[in-house]
Amino acid sequence: MGKKYPYYPRYTGDLAASVDYQLMSFAEMGFYNFLIDMSWEAPEQCMLTPEYLEKLRELKRIRRKTWDKLMQSVQQKFTICEKNGALYNDRLLMELEKMREKSSKNARNGLKGGRPRNRTVVDPALSSQSILDLDLKPDIETEVESESRFSKESGSFRFPKGDSDGE
């Protein structure tokens, strides 16, 4: 038994396109979706053993006759495991295997140190520097001098034409 995943990919478009699914009654659709969900949550992920199915029936308080009728209508969507008589859905098992492969691949890559962090580049010429390495502080003294009306040389205020003090 591998890692248990708390979610599974559900392709509603595939369900909507399935003729078998469209021919099910509303109760059968609900029962099928219930079995798929419980299959994912089963102790042996994706395997509905006869014992587990019986526990589900008892928990949901479904009469044996109703359960058997619903089971008969959706059983074609499941395969019976020869080893233990458990039901499994081929598509769900395939999705579980894909998730396990991806998880294993991610774990191997993680052992290598994962992906390098992206670096934000301001200028292609500075491609070896990140934005955090650049000194982007404005030159305050230059900006203040250019806007100041005080002249250090003469020691007095200067005014542009038409903007004098009181004139």
In the chain, what are the domain boundaries? 12-111
- Write out pLDDT tens, residues 3-26: 778 888 888 888 888 888 889 999
Tell me the three state secondary structure of residue 101: helix
Residue 17, amino acid: A
Residue 57 · residue 49 · CB < 8 Å: no
Tens-place pLDDT, residues 60-110: 999 999 999 999 999 889 999 888 889 989 999 999 999 889 988 988 888
Asked whether the whole model's pTM tops 0.85, one would answer no
Q: What is the pLDDT at residue 43?
A: 83
145 pLDDT higher than 90? no
- Give the mean pLDDT of the chain: 79
Distance CA 112, CA 106 (A): 10
Q: Print burial letters for 89-114: b (CB count within 10 Å at least 16), e (below 16).
A: beebeebbeebeeeeeeeeeeeeeee
Residue 163 CA to residue 6 CA, distance in Å, equals 72
pLDDT of residue 143: 47
Residue-wise burial string across 125-144, b where 16 or more C-beta atoms lie within 10 A, e elsewhere: eeeeeeeeeeeeeeeeeeee
